[in-house]
Amino acid sequence: MAGLYFHIPFCKRVCAYCDFFKSADLRRMDDVLKAMHDELEHQRGYLGGEAVRTRYFGGGTPSLCTPQQIGGLLARAADLFDCTAVEETTLEANPDDLDGAYLDALRRAGIDRLSIGIQSLDDACLRSMNRRHTAAQAVDAVKRARAAGFGNLTVDLIFGVPGFGGDSLQRSLDAIIALEPEHVSAYHLTVEPGTAFGRRAARGDFAPVDEETSRAEFLTVHRVLTQAGYEHYEVSNFALPGRRARHNAAYWHGEKYLGTGPAAHSYDGRERHWNAASIERYIAGRPPEHEVLSDRDRYNEYLMTRLRTAEGIDLGELECRFGAASAERTLREAERFVAAGTLVAMEKRLAIPAEQWLVSDAVIGALFESE
């Protein structure tokens, strides 16, 4: 099974933390969407005939598109790919875009899951991140989505924001739980160069939280959401039983996916492809760049993605994919981490306990196969 990803790079306002490719020039929307239709046609053989299981509109802010534009992309994709067995079609949305008429039209267009960018339910925190909605608008958006018939909602939360841990984070978590979304994605703030936060940090007037605070807030998010019945199934993702994100799981499990739109990435099982991170170059039809993954690349990526999930590494699958020697080396290298409690061995699996995921990179890096 395979996935389709549609990257809508436009934003009305640039958030202080965002380093994704985006543009505030909404005048180019129609040109980009036309180029995406053309790209779907050009890449119609990319998935090798595999049935599409998931479709995802990310950004940017996909909810700046009209339902007709969203429906047009879905219809074009259905003409070119086998979409008869689609299980999930998600659209990322800003809360203040979601009025009742828009939500009704999105459902008719084929969207059955919304990813609502709440980020915080503290207005001061939202202002610090330069978000364009308020906490009240976020709550109202979830309620309107329910009223419109959406039975599968995920919301985003950002923690690790300086000055907004403690009571502020707890209030946001309590309010999110009260909204009863099926899924929560909780991301630690990263301060990237080129973002507003990054520029402030370079001037010395903004500092990320320290490691102790990061760990404390991560454990707070883990504790509060798991006690509320959410399964912490991947480092940044929590779901009620049976409500894991299917599209994201395709990335973590090495399934094929085709990404369309500026800066979108694709994977065909052996090679990665990525489009130009430029509106002009994308519209002009610049071919994607690509990278052929070596066996070592695929092995390291397998470790990196699997060890960030609750299931961890299946040692039998590891041996089947990469050979007995790789599986044996992994077990040898893992012994010291099992002894330290940062890895758990269980029924032919190796997994990092969820409480340790925030520092999982050290374990994963040590297990990587080097040149």
Domain extent listing, the chain: 2-251, 311-371
Please give the pLDDT value at position 200: 95
Closest CA to 218 of 154, 264, 157, 132: 157
Determine the average pLDDT of the residues in 190-219. Answer: 95
pLDDT for 201 beyond 80 = yes
Q: For 132-151, give one letter per residue: b (16+ CB within 10 A) or e.
A: bbebebbbbbbebbeebebe
Main-chain dihedrals φ then ψ at residue 344, nearest 5 degrees:
-120, 130
The model's confidence at residue 337, banded by pLDDT at 50, 70 and 90, is very high
The model's confidence at residue 324, banded by pLDDT at 50, 70 and 90, is very high
Starting at the earlier edge strand, list the strands of the sheet with 313-314: 313-314, 349-351, 344-346
> Within 13 Å of residue 342, how many CA atoms lie on the same side as its CB?
17
pLDDT for 114 beyond 80 = yes
Determine the average pLDDT of the residues in 112-121. Answer: 98
Determine the average pLDDT of the residues in 274-289. Answer: 96
The model's confidence at residue 180, banded by pLDDT at 50, 70 and 90, is very high
The model's confidence at residue 261, banded by pLDDT at 50, 70 and 90, is very high
pTM of the full predicted structure? 0.96
Please give the pLDDT value at position 369: 87
Please give the pLDDT value at position 1: 83
SS3 2: strand
Instruction: Round the average pLDDT of the chain to a whole number and report it.
Output: 96
Percent of the chain scored above 70 by pLDDT?
100
The pair of three-digit structure tokens given for residue 280, joined into one six-digit string: 């002009």
The DSSP string of 180-197 is --SEEEEEE----TTSHH
Closest CA to 367 of 335, 345, 341: 335
Closest CA to 133 of 117, 145, 147: 117
- Tell the residue number behind the tokens 């049976």, with chain if given: 242
Please give the pLDDT value at position 253: 87
Please give the pLDDT value at position 252: 87
The model's confidence at residue 346, banded by pLDDT at 50, 70 and 90, is confident
- Contact criterion met (CB below 8 Å) for 159 and 217: yes
Determine the average pLDDT of the residues in 76-92. Answer: 98
CA angle 290, 281, 263 (to 5 degrees): 50
Instruction: Please report, for residues 32, 246, 251, the alpha-carbon distance to residue 272 in angstroms, rounded to integers and kept in the order given.
Output: 22, 20, 12
The continuous run of DSSP H or E covering 34 comes out as: helix 29-42
Please give the pLDDT value at position 250: 86
The model's confidence at residue 358, banded by pLDDT at 50, 70 and 90, is confident
The model's confidence at residue 120, banded by pLDDT at 50, 70 and 90, is very high
The model's confidence at residue 105, banded by pLDDT at 50, 70 and 90, is very high
Residue 68 CA, chain-centre distance (Å), reads: 25
SS3 345: strand
Please give the pLDDT value at position 315: 93
Q: What's the topology of domain 2-251?
A: TIM Barrel (3.20.20)
The model's confidence at residue 237, banded by pLDDT at 50, 70 and 90, is very high
User: What contacts 24+ positions apart, CB below 8 Å, involve 77-82?
Assistant: 77/4, 77/40, 77/52, 80/40, 80/41, 80/44, 81/4, 81/44, 81/47, 81/52, 82/49, 82/50, 82/51, 82/52
Determine the average pLDDT of the residues in 212-222. Answer: 97
The model's confidence at residue 52, banded by pLDDT at 50, 70 and 90, is very high
The DSSP string of 191-217 is --TTSHHHHHHHHTS--PPPHHHHHHH
